[in-house]
Structure 1
């Protein structure tokens, strides 16, 4: 919106830092024009919450918190011109779409035989953001360029089971064999089950997130996107994620990389203390 008058309505890249936890409620975004160019422009954005004012300057820097910091690069992706070349990545398995689901069946029942919409336990105190987006069926409104950052930072409740090593996932999903399992295997299964049961009390906050748009989404938005998420290491309460987003035709829409943590959900839900600004 800020750069639309300059003919640069699309976000090409975005880097987000999360110095404080956000909450559902009013916010103010301040915009600093770092560099305004003919093809690319750069902004420094700060999202403020708490201690907001009803008139300019809108933010009380002694009381408000910086909850998100971002550097963004903007352009008009529909009018980008230049050389195009195929890459070796395009021929790899990771570049291919999975088997497309029966979208109508997913919308009707949440499953189609191959795909299934993950459910959050009703008793879970999980933050409301996790209930907003459907990960197998749509969220009820088109996905547009304005919500792309939300898409790459939103994941199914049971995401941890997909990021785990295949042998651990198999232990988690398979039924125990009382007669055919060694003591070591039983102990390993019990440990994996315990970790999975702890999920309801865990929060996976994003520390840093980078986003690169590869293709401009239609102005009216799309109903479905294919999101592939991989992690190279989950260790000591922190992990990385690589996110690849494609449309239903297989064209790459966006790339994203995250650094995230695994902490107690109480860190998100406990009462906030002093509202003094901090980084």
Structure 2
């Protein structure tokens, strides 16, 4: 069997195994696992539908390790179908003490009690209904990013106009599975707080799971949708500006970095990548609004 475009390492990471008619087991990357769960579920049916949209809600913290995914068929149609998927893991108990070091267990078989961590609705459609010509509107940035030399990016780590992001934010370990390149203006030009807030993040990315070159697949796109280190700086600038507007003192540097947990994630897959994948994808990230403790980010991923 030929190695998948996104590498055997990533394929292992997103493997979903049926353990019942509507139940699956997996180890985690939540967004990619949900996409693969829907694909595996409908691969067992006469209509080989694939995901075209996902709406996920992150209820509780997930952990690396085993998870159970349960599928409920909400609406099954000829062209469009919708399923509800819940991801469960053993319940965490922050009040565990040395005298009771284990998580609560199910009284029937002494297995750890499960709780739902992530829920989502996934819309699927057969690929043949998604084929054909497409008419697109204007999707250009306010300021066009510089022309890119992909060969120079791959061989030299940059082409002058697009340097590679060398140091992802502390704790952002997932960023090590992709090479991200940004315009010089993104990394250096924003001098004032206002400039940082208004900025649009442009990036080109090459998939490198485990540090090995691979190609972007439909599942791997969901990883890229949550990978935009410079946009976190924009959100930090927005929070500092909010504090300035209300006259609150800025948080001291020793308080540590900002924390950006995902609450909801909406993904609209407009097209499918070819089976052999693509080497480069372009992301455009805009921080739309920050109000109170919530922020909205819009990520558009393009293959040209």
- What is the TM-score when the length of structure 2 is the normalising length? 0.59
Matches within 5 A, 1:79-228: 79-80=129-130, 85-87=135-137, 90=138, 93-94=140-141, 98-120=145-167, 124=170, 126-136=171-181, 137-138=205-206, 139=208, 140-156=213-229, 158-162=230-234, 201-228=257-284
SS of residue in 2 equivalent to 1:94 = coil
Q: Is 1:28 the equivalent of 2:68?
A: yes
Q: Number of residue pairs matched?
A: 211
Quick check: 2:87–2:118 contact (8 Å CA) kept in 1? yes
CA RMSD of aligned residues (A): 3.5
Give ranges in structure 2 of 5+ residues lacking alignment: 1-39, 92-102, 104-108, 182-204, 242-249
Query: Who is 2:35 aligned against?
Result: none
Secondary structure at 2:62's aligned position in 1? Answer: coil
The answer (yes or no) to whether the contact 2:79–2:129 under 8 Å persists in 1 is no
Q: How far 1:119 sits from its partner (Å)?
A: 3.2
1:41 pairs with 2:81: yes
- Give the structure-1-normalised TM-score: 0.63
Where 1:204 maps in the other structure, the secondary structure is: coil
1:26 deviates by 1.5
1:29 Cα deviation after fit: 1.4
Q: Does structure 2 conserve the Cα–Cα contact (< 8 Å) formed by 1:8 and 1:74?
A: no
- Classify the secondary structure of the residue corresponding to 2:66: coil
Distance across 2 between alignment mates of 1:50 and 1:34: 26
Structure with bigger RCO (C-alpha 8 Å, 6+ apart): 1
Report the CA distance shift for 1:40/1:121 in structure 2 as closer, same or farther (over 3 A): closer
- Which runs of 4 or more aligned residues in structure 1 lie more than 4 Å from their structure 2 counterparts after TM superposition? 81-86, 162-166, 197-200
1:247 aligns with 2:303: yes
1: CA distance, partners of 2:144 / 2:63: 35
Q: Distance in 2 between matches of 1:83 and 1:103?
A: 27
